[in-house]
Amino acid sequence: MKPHENVLKLEQQLCFAVYSAAHAFNRAYKPLLDSLGLTYPQYIVMMVLWERNGQTVKEIGAKLDLDSGTLSPLLKRLEKLGMITRTRDENDERQVVVSLTEQGKATRRQALDKIVPAIGNLVGCGVDDLDEMRDRVIKLKTALDTAVPHD
């Protein structure tokens, strides 16, 4: 048989497995996040702010690998939801500082109580397996990023 003719098969491809798993996560999160009124990308922005309140768009973007083209409209929607405020930095008016409102802070409890345990159950494997898989996927991402730098 010809060498490597089956390398184009969908089921053999790691990239498709990852692409597909990302969508599956989205579908799993959606009904849970609906109760908080958030989408998954909005949720991870909230996570960034729950770790440290008051960050610039640039800082948030660096942690999530997202640019202002994605974040600007997303943050406006979070602001309209009453989750965050956006204020120009006094010292450097180029920067916009994003801060949690009281509602935004309170939503963290909702996430801890309702989202995290529910997702934990869905993944359906031990914590150790899960940690190892996560580390591998992060290594994969790092390898790709190193080979194809961005920003």
Partner DNA sequence: CATAATTAAATTGTGCACAATAGGATTTTG
Partner DNA sequence: CAAAATCCTATTGTGCACAATTTAATTATG
CA geometry: angle 71, 74, 80, nearest 5 deg: 135
Residues 58-87 that bind a copy of itself (CB under 8 A): 63-65
The least distance separating a copy of itself from the CB of residue 140, rounded to whole angstroms, comes to 5
Distance CA 145, CA 43 (A): 23
Residue 133 binds which entry of a copy of itself, DNA, none, CB below 5-8 Å type-dependent: a copy of itself
For 106, phi then psi, to 5°, come to -65, -30
- Please, what is the minimum distance in Å from the beta carbon of residue 149 to DNA? 11
Q: Rule CB under 7 A: say whether 48 interacts with DNA.
A: no
Binding to DNA in span 64-93, by CB under 7 A: 65-75, 77, 86, 91-93
Cα–Cα distance, 111 to 149 (Å, whole number): 33
